[in-house]
Amino acid sequence: MGTELALKSDPEPLLACTISRDVQKFDLLIDDMEAELGEAWGDLQLTEAKAFFAQPEASNLEFIAIAVDAEDEGDIGLIGEIIGNAIARKIKVILIADDVSTAGLHQLLKLGAHDFVPYPLPERALHEAIERVRQPEPEPVPAAQSGNTTAPVAGQNMSAPAAVFAVQKLAGGSGATTLAVNLAYEFTKLDKEAPSVCILDFDLQTGSVATMLDLPRREAITEILTDATSLDEESFRQGLVGFQEAMSVLTSPAEIIPLDMIGPEEIEAILELAKTSFDIVVIDMPSSIVQWTETVLARADVFFAVMELDMRSAQNAMRFIKTLQSEDLPLDKVNFVLNRAPKMTDLNGKSRMKRLSESLGVKISTQLSDGGKQVTEAADHGMPLAEIAKKSGTRKDISKLAASLHEAMLGDGAAATG
């Protein structure tokens, strides 16, 4: 297409353009751009984009759509310059990524794109992204409101003595097990009348609660899981492992077992035994959605869905939400948790978080600070953060969350004394 922007036949002003190494590799993008803008768009190669911004035609652009695939990961520096030039000229940026590595996506999203869409493009995804970028720029979050918040689902009022909190990871490495383990332990550290606490590691294949607390996996766990409907409370307790006499743990099995080896009836029985035996039950869920996920969701007081500010989490969160909606399951029980949340002074990160929340159509109710090496070190030592990194920002956030949830459990009594 030469060194200039490839215009369509009608010389009407350009409202947008695509930027890619080869737009023909993104044929669905071409179709969607034509459907949205008719002929009021053009396309540029990556090497042409920087020079184009200095031309008069660029002044009318509403947005650019940068399409990248795995081969473009070596040009992230150039892509960053293009995004920076567009933002400087108040041109919105939509990032479209096809088969880009997790590390590459993380770098690209940090460059400041206003929105992103996976490729191949889901139906109406580009239309919705264009609608979002055409909205007025969100105002910066006031300093008084920009700190991390930890609160249960709005309006949730749990009743003591038994409460169930489930934790679901929306992407590998998002920190769900870290939240489950440390949330359970923080309940045991409450100043007044600490409740009895049990953790159930339902991640049957890759569960790591035992590792994070340096506990043995008992051979009897598989039998407990498969014969749960015939267990009594005493038999259930015998299968648990204690941690520092503070809480009890049902570890994942010593061997990998199929997720469908147990069903809703067994999960229901274990939950009933746990609720009878303890004040608080924390469940670490598998990353997969299984037939008994609905059972846990129905019994949970709060169902935490843990994510990060990246494309993997965003896509999986969207799929998770659509699954719940299609099955008419209670989305109002789900508390979306953003781990490694932007710092108070990171206004760009706060803006991205707001756009993520709006694109998913949900509220991110809980934010956790980036604990960095301290979280990894605590897990490697088999200790909760409260024991090895007491001043960690992540630990403080989880401690506040535990206190907030406990107050909700106490209901009106806590409100009256608070």
20's tokens: 């890619």
Q: Look up residue 209 and give its amino acid.
A: V
Domain 149-417 class in CATH? alpha beta
305 - beta bridge partners?
Answer: 168, 336
Q: What is the pLDDT of residues 140-198, one digit of tens each?
A: 444 333 334 333 333 343 444 579 999 999 988 889 999 999 999 999 988 666 789 99
Give ranges for CATH 3.40.50.300 in the chain. Answer: 149-417
pTM: 0.63
Q: What is the pLDDT of residues 74-86, one digit of tens each?
A: 888 888 888 888 8
- What's the CA gap between 114 and 136, in Å, rounded? 12
- What's the CA gap between 175 and 164, in Å, rounded? 19
- CA 242 to each of CA 218, 238, 375: distance values in angstroms, whole numbers, following the listed order: 12, 10, 22
**Is the pLDDT confidence value at 295 over 60?**
yes
96 - beta bridge partners?
Answer: 67, 117
Give ranges for CATH 3.40.50.2300 in the chain. Answer: 16-133
Cis-peptide, bond into residue 120, ω within 30° of zero:
yes
With beta carbons less than 8 A apart as the criterion, state whether 163 and 405 touch. Answer: yes
Cis-peptide, bond into residue 161, ω within 30° of zero:
yes
Q: For 16-133, CATH number?
A: 3.40.50.2300
- What's the CA gap between 2 and 119, in Å, rounded? 26
Least confident of 53-57, 103-107, 112-116, 294-298: 103-107
With beta carbons less than 8 A apart as the criterion, state whether 198 and 281 touch. Answer: yes
pLDDT at 210: 93
- What's the CA gap between 94 and 89, in Å, rounded? 15
**Percent helix, percent strand, percent coil in the chain, to nearest 5:** 45, 15, 40
